[in-house]
Chains A and B, each alone.
Chain A
Amino acid sequence: MWAFIHKLGSPKWFYAISARLQPWCWGAAVALILVGSVWGLAFAPADYQQGNSFRIIYVHVPAAFLAQSIFVTMAVAGMIFMVWRIKLADMAAAMMAPLGAGMTFVALFSGAVWGMPTWGTWWMWDARLTSMLILFFLYIGVIALRGAFASRDSASRAASVLAMVGVINIPIIKYSVEWWYTLHQPATFSITSRPAMPTEMWLPLLLMVLGFYCFFIAVTLMRTRSEILRRESSKRWVRELAAEEGT
């Protein structure tokens, strides 16, 4: 068990194994997103209420899913770093944060674009959009805190603690915002909570969600690999690697 965790946590081992994994992740991501978006945008039936504007769901929902999952993954990585002092986990967490913030922004932006034809306004204090906005602020907080420390070790630990505190709070925030919303605007309908979707609508959505997850894994692998090289640039194996590449 111990040996396995430490092997997994070794940047050199990870660098080698991720090189083999990465193309598969990219391939899966491109294929899934391509099939999902063509199917969803061109072939899935239009919504009887919203017409074609509902098709933005194929971007909005996967982005929102991913935004939340990345925060949880980041907190788990932070915990692994704090408990077992595996630096690799922290590198991955550091690389995930901007992607998560980006996905939250995509979800917010697509929500606003969707809001225009549906509600006639760019922004409504819809429960999901509001909690997405708060999640965006949480991401900004983690990124800003990491950037504020002069010492990288302290920055990593502080960001890990904040991510863990945030992840305990996310469900509380989510439920309280939903409660608040039903109290204030019981009549409006939410863009994503809807009666059961026909199969030909949700199947492309599923493909898109899976594709987004693969995209997330691929990007994180790629960025973590370059972060490994940057942080371990003084280690012997990285120097040997650089020599082999002839740079």
Chain B
Amino acid sequence: MSLRLQARKLACERDDRWLFRGLDLDIRAGEIVRVEGPNGSGKTTLLKILSGQLADYHGELFWNEAPMRRSRKAFLANLLYLGHSPGVKAALTPLENLAWYQALAGEPDDAAARLEALASVGLVGFEEVPAGQLSAGQQRRVALARLTLIPRPLWVLDEPFTAIDRDGVVALEARLSAHARQGGCVLVTTHHALAASSALRRIRLGQGGDDAGA
């Protein structure tokens, strides 16, 4: 079963200012789509709309040819979203954090998978340390461990490279292209330059909304 996320004439108005208008998107399996644009051009807002968090938009969204409003549950079962904040509880250990995410995603409770996921992001030896004692980069890695732990075809990642060291960036980039090769799909915003590949596509958002109020 292929996956397809489409947007038709997508527009978002925030307090009388158009962030973007008339956006047509067709995102399919095997693609890495990078959303670009200056600060304040609505990158995060677009990702929030495309991940079903913001209902306040004009235009239509389709998940696998069906309108989003009707296929929301099916869509969410295929989505993995990483926002600005890592979503890691400081008082819980990385393992406990992942256990909650596993249950929340409807995955079976599997301790071995959690250990493996933490190992895949280079957090061996930190499994039982309260996340509050980890560095910002390590907390971000705990969040990124979800990419391995929870198999979802559509990844929506908002600035995933923040606070990650150079080796981590290389590993994550490899992880993204591997996901696309395997038939997944990645939607990402980043200030980090992604290596060009045939799978990479760019969406450029407007220059700070200079068509406001027109």
The 10 sampled A-B contact pairs (Cβ below 8 Å) are A151-B14, A151-B15, A152-B15, A153-B14, A153-B15, A153-B56, A231-B16, A234-B16, A234-B212, A234-B213
Give the A-binding residues of B (Cβ under 8 A): 14-16, 56, 212-213
Complex formed: what's the CA distance from A126 to B14 in Å? 47
- For chain A, give the interface size range: under 10
B56, closest chain A residue (CB): A153
Chain A positions 145 through 181: 1 when the CB is less than 8 Å from some CB of chain B, otherwise 0: 0000001110000000000000000000000000000
Known: A152-B15, A234-B16, A234-B213; 7 extra A-B contacts, CB below 8 A, are A151-B14, A151-B15, A153-B14, A153-B15, A153-B56, A231-B16, A234-B212
| Chain A residues with CB below 8 A from B56, complex form | 153
A155, closest chain B residue (CB): B15
Task: Name the prevailing secondary structure of the A interface residues.
Answer: helix
Complex formed: what's the CA distance from A234 to B214 in Å? 8
Complex formed: what's the CA distance from A151 to B54 in Å? 14
| Most B C-beta atoms less than 10 A away, residue of A151, A231, A234 | A234
Complex formed: what's the CA distance from A152 to B16 in Å? 10
Give min CB distance, B213 to chain A, whole Å: 4
For the complex of A and B, 6 pairs with smallest distance between CB atoms: A234-B213, A152-B15, A153-B56, A234-B16, A151-B15, A153-B15
| Chain B residues with CB below 8 A from A234, complex form | 16, 212-213
| Most A C-beta atoms less than 10 A away, residue of B14, B15, B212, B213 | B15
Give min CB distance, B163 to chain A, whole Å: 27
Give min CB distance, B7 to chain A, whole Å: 18
Complex formed: what's the CA distance from A28 to B163 in Å? 67
Give min CB distance, A74 to chain B, whole Å: 21
User: Which residues of A, 169-215, contact B by the 8 Å Cβ criterion?
Assistant: none
| Chain A residues with CB below 8 A from B14, complex form | 151, 153
| Chain A residues with CB below 8 A from B213, complex form | 234
| Chain B residues with CB below 8 A from A152, complex form | 15
Complex formed: what's the CA distance from A231 to B213 in Å? 12
User: Which residues of A, 228-242, contact B by the 8 Å Cβ criterion?
Assistant: 231, 234
